[in-house]
Amino acid sequence: MAIRRIRVFPDPILRKKCRVVRRVDDKIRDLAADMIETLDAAGGIGLAANQVGALQRVVTIHMLGEESAEVLVNPEIRATEGEREIIEGCLSFPGYEGLVKRAISVKARWLDENGSKMTVTAEELYAQAIEHEIDHLNGILYVDHLLAHQKLVAAGSLKREDEPHMHDVELEIHTDHSDDDEVEPDESGIEIVESTIKFSDLYSDSSISQMQYDLRSAGYVVDDPEPEHDTGHQHHGQAGHEQVESDDPHLNGGVLLDPEHRH
């Protein structure tokens, strides 16, 4: 198993349609194992094969609180029900999130890593992850679903405590270079494990700065007309993306996974 470099917007492979897997064999299982390792290292919920450079219809999903990740080969949505607005993020847009419309529940089917047929009715975050990842396999990105007049904002800006949400990863400046995992109790007394991983294991610095440049050029992100660096609070609806600026000397310090994604 190995961690694979995650491709970020606007890498053209993210717009490619992945090929149907003809046989679930060891090659597919190896790919899936790498994807799970990468997904877990990034603290994400879902990853599609083209995000790590493989054009196969393979997805891994690791739901919060679940011990192991799921492998979805050739996943298909059979039916959807309802509609809701929801916060979403993506490992190929590290540090950002946006508001999109997704189904309330989906019926889906796929093959697992042994080639067995699976049929699932999924709701909430699980349904959202399945829709998001199948989109990836078809070259569709969540920015294609952004609600009218919505822009991407810094991950965490839209967060609401009482709502399930999905940002695959949150980047925060982490100046502690220690590799040790820390365990801290939160206000509810639940122990949270904070992992520090090397940012450079997951992303190339040049691709991150290219992403930030292209997101602005494409109008997905707006530059804050009046940056409020000293207010100490995150303001909503405007770019708070300073925290992932590539020229920030702290960026190489690593990725601080949002503890909320760990329970």
Distance of closest approach, residue 119 Cβ to Ni ion, in angstroms: 23
DSSP string, 148-191: TT---EETTTT--TTS--B-S-----------S-EEEE-TTS-E
Q: Shortest Cβ contact with Ni ion: which residue? A: 90
Active-site annotation holds for 133: yes
Which residues in this chain contact Ni ion in the complex, by CB under 5 A? 90
Distance of closest approach, residue 23 Cβ to Ni ion, in angstroms: 26
For Ni ion, give the closer residue by CB, 127 or 238. 127
For Ni ion, give the closer residue by CB, 70 or 238. 70
Ramachandran angles phi, psi of 221, nearest 5°: -130, 140
Distance of closest approach, residue 203 Cβ to Ni ion, in angstroms: 14
The partner residues of 121 in beta bridges, in order of sequence, read: 107
- Burial class of 137 by CB neighbour count within 10 A (0 to 12, 13 to 18, 19+): buried
For Ni ion, give the closer residue by CB, 139 or 253. 139
For Ni ion, give the closer residue by CB, 71 or 90. 90
Distance of closest approach, residue 59 Cβ to Ni ion, in angstroms: 10
CA distance 135 to 145: 10
CA distance 37 to 15: 23
Catalytic member of 88, 97, 131, 133: 133
CA distance 231 to 177: 26
For 85, other C-beta atoms within 10 Å of its C-beta total 11
Residues that are catalytic:
133
